[in-house]
Structure 1
Amino acid sequence: MTIIKINAITVPADSGDELAKRFAARAGAVDNQDGFEGFELLQPTDDRNTWLVVTRWRDEESFEAWQKSRAFAQGHAQESGGAPAQKPVGMSSELWSYKIAGGSTGNAG
């Protein structure tokens, strides 16, 4: 059963572009992780300052294995390749967990 993990990251109003840039720099880093099904970075289109990182996983075990992986540690480190530590973009974040309870494929017609 697919599970959805949403990291809700609150950023200062002028930091959204930096958040998007950092995610773009790591694009594809999780693609080959066992059980990974997809990823979206959602930018607010109103006056909110909370961005959503939405990932889909085959099951909870796949997500937990990724969290314990070296790839996760490297992707979430504040330093990269000996470069100076980057200041965090987010002011706060929450991890939400969901399972699909219904929906539509959008292919009607």
Structure 2
Amino acid sequence: MSIVKINVLTVPSEQREVLEQRFAARAGAVENSDGFEWFELLRPVEGTDQYLVYTRWRSEADFEAWMSTTMRASHGGGDSAEGERPKPAATGSTLWSFEVVQQAAPKA
């Protein structure tokens, strides 16, 4: 069965738009990765300043391979015109890991 990785990002309200724009600018960066199955960026609606970045992978090995190459490269770049990396939009992050043990799809 698949595995799910949820990156919990603490994002101050004044940085929400910045975070969402950065994710939109990287659209497509993960979709062609071997073993990638699903992505969602979840915006908090009330009571929290934490965004959830949901990704689903065929295996832990596929996720680790992406982490060691594509993801690190995309997060390590992005220098500004002055040659400095932009300030992170999130003030903290935690990675949650899950195994998919049951799933359902909508009826056709």
Quick check: TM above 0.5? Answer: yes
Count how many residue pairs are aligned between Structure 1 and Structure 2: 107
Counterparts of 1:104 and 1:61, CA distance in 2 = 24
CA offsets, 1:8-37, max 9 Å, x none? 000112211111100000000011110001
Q: TM-score, length-normalised on structure 2? A: 0.89
TM-score by length of 1: 0.88
* Shift in Å, 1:81: 7.6
1:106 equivalent to 2:106? Answer yes
Note the C-alpha offset of 1:38. Answer: 1.1
Measure the CA separation in 2 of the matches of 1:18 and 1:52: 15
The equivalent of 1:77 in structure 2 is: 76
Q: How big is the alpha-carbon RMSD for the aligned residues of Structure 1 and Structure 2?
A: 1.8
Percent identity between the two aligned chains: 44
Residue in structure 1 matched with residue 40 of structure 2 by the alignment: 40
5+ long unaligned stretches in structure 1: none
CA deviations 1:33-73 (Å, max 9, x no partner) are 1000110000011131100000000000000011111x222
Equivalents in 1 of 2:87, 2:77: separation in Å? 7
Alpha-carbon distance in structure 2 between the residues aligned to 1:61 and 1:21: 29
Distance 1:33 1:103, change over 3 A: closer
Q: Does the CA-based 8 Å contact 1:78-1:88 persist in structure 2? A: no
Distance in 1, matches of 2:49 and 2:107, equals: 32
Alpha carbons of 1:81 and 1:37: their partners in 2 closer, same or farther (altered >3 Å)? farther
Question: Are residues 72 and 103 of structure 1, via their aligned partners in 2, closer, same or farther at CA, if it must alter by over 3 Å?
Answer: closer
Query: Which structure 2 segments of 5+ residues have no match?
Result: none
